[in-house]
A and B are shown apart, each in its own frame.
Chain A
Amino acid sequence: MKSLGSIRRDFAPWNDPNAKPYIQFDNVTKKFGDFTAVNNLSLTIFEREFFALLGASGCGKSTLLRMLAGFEEPSAGRILLDGQDLRGIPPYRRPVNMMFQSYALFPHMTVENNIAFGLKQEGMAKPEIEKRVAEMLKLVKLEQFAKRKPHQLSGGQRQRVALARSVAKRPKVLLLDEPLGALDKKLREETQFELMDLQQELGLTFVVVTHDQEEAMTMADRIAIMDKGEVMQVATPAEVYEAPASRFVAHFVGNVNMFEGKVAERSANTTRITGATGAQIVVDNASDTSKGADIIFAIRPEKIKVSSKKPADAVNALEGEVYDVAYLGDMTVYHIKLDDGQIVRASALNAARVTEDPLTWNDRAWVSFRPDAGVVLTR
């Protein structure tokens, strides 16, 4: 069976037409004065999903999260949670909890009191609170820090307290605003997997806001890519990467080479594209393009093969010269300047320690790729 990307997904309610959406944004608009932060946005999130809102700062992703938490009310449209319209419900009555980017730990309370805060507001009995707090401390491995105040903890420990506090009430939905933004790289990678495990263990719906595409790709079941208050694409990480819906998405996630051109010919199975500078590219049939249409052919660097001779069986092969090479250890990145002037980025995994056919600056080189290696974009 063929599949986009390298992971088979068994959890995919978004492909099931009978699945009931858990969180629903219906034509939601949010304006701050003249500025439109969120523009007529619709989105559905399913129960137990790990959903990521990905975008540059100011794209409206945090506003979306704050509307879900109840700190902002939509200017228009409605938000449904488990079938219930959230309009007018204040944050302290919503069955969602949020983990803040700054962690927002109460500085005058110990770790255990921070975690117990939400439970006390619920009026939970004292022995039960103690039990739940102990359980949460164990979950985030902070048992011996229960009596400390937040300023007596390291950054990673604070992050875990914030997490424990926000899941202590067993919310229906956990909102995470840049949950790993303040951690250093190594800790961030570890914590990504911890978060995923935690989500599985608790069976909660997670909505995470991030500007870090790697973080979103690692953790999320689906990603919504946002720009200027609108959703550009909602899809699994593999779809976002392998089948971006637009130029913006292709550019935003990962590296990409773009060839502008026109559809020259369509046959039963393949489409031939003439690049703006004359390059001829043959791709597997792209839907909804007709002959003569202006299109963009996008291809990821790792799907391009670089060689010193033209591969005999290549459908698509373009000639050029090595412009730049960078050896990164796990892979090597080539910048090839094609004879028509366009620079193509290609990366090759260094699967072996010894290279048979090494290239260097100013060598003649061929770039080649399969007909199914790239995508045709119409916008």
Chain B
Amino acid sequence: MNTTWSRFNVTSIVLGFAFLYLPIVLLIVFSFNESKLVTVWGGFSTKWYVSLFHNQGLMDATWVTARVGVISATVATVLGTLAALTLTRYTRFRGRILFSGMVFAPLVMPEVITGLSLLLLFVAIGLDRGFFTVTLAHITLTMCFVAVVVQSRLVSFDRSLEEAAMDLGATPAKTFFQITLPVILPAIVSGWMLAFTLSLDDLVIASFTSGPGATTLPMKIYSQVRLGVTPEINAACTLLIAVVAVGVIIASIANKRREVQRQLDEQAAQRG
């Protein structure tokens, strides 16, 4: 392998990362700005973080977002896992292709269309828009992502594990809860995290389906920005980035540890 860094390589890496991260770095830097003017540096300060926690509107929106995220991700995980099980286990039922197409369509459906159609539905059946409707809409949006993640795990799942459990006297229900579920649990957890993240940063569908009293954080930020960007919003976004980054870092460290442990175990097994 070539270990020397050519000028070309360095330039392209710097440019590439700048392209990706410069806006975010700028946002973080200006969240610590003393001045109220976003584009003028007035010295270091954390006062916007303090005022953020006193901004009742933003705090309410954060709370709404967290609840919508947890509830919708949980329901979507249950439904998505069931859909994935059906799609991998019953490969021959009538209309399977139609069913799988319909499960996965929301993946590629423009969000505007999903949002608009849900809005029309809620209006048609006279459902008051609010917390409940946003949650429902997010379940619809994220279920298919969970189904994809879980299905990819189920495809490589060794069915003889289930047969072995039944052979040893476990009923189908016990087999599912004692064997299948624990084995595919990592996929279900990552499906849940994906669903939660999607719900967390969704603006379009939430705007269509939410009502008064159920403003999510992205909606709140967007509406405030229209009145002019304040450093407070920068602070809010920085915190959001921190939360996501910490989550990603923890997940990858846990993953790496498991991998290393596994390799050590396998080497130990090889030696006998």
Contacts and interface: CB of A to CB of B under 8 A. Distances in A.
Contact of B269 (A96, A154, A166): A154
B20 interface: no
A90 B161 CA distance: 16
Given A152-B265, A153-B269, A108 B183 contact: yes
A209 interface: no
B268 A97 contact: no
Interface string A80-112: 000000000011110011101110101110000
Interface residues of B, number: 24
6 contacts: A104-B158, A104-B160, A106-B161, A106-B183, A121-B168, A121-B174
| Residue from A92, A118, A153, A154 whose CB has the most chain B CB atoms within 10 Å | A92
Nearest to B163: A71
A127 B168 CA distance: 19
A169 interface: yes
Interface of B: 158, 160-161, 163-171, 174, 178-179, 182-183, 262, 265-266, 268-270, 272
A97 B183 contact: no
Nearest to A168: B168
Interface string A339-359: 000000000000000000000
A299 interface: no
Nearest to B262: A151
Contacts, number: 73
Nearest to B175: A92
B157 to A, nearest CB: 11
Task: Tell me what chain B mostly uses at the interface: helix, strand, loop, or mixed.
Answer: helix
B188 to A, nearest CB: 13
Interface string A56-71: 0000000000000111
Contact of A118 (B168, B183, B265): B168
B167 A154 contact: no
A153 B268 CA distance: 8
Contact of A121 (B170, B182, B272): B170
A232 B167 CA distance: 29
A69 B167 contact: yes
A149 B167 contact: no
B265 A165 contact: no
B169 A122 contact: yes
A121 B169 contact: yes
Contact of B270 (A90, A107, A149, A154): A154
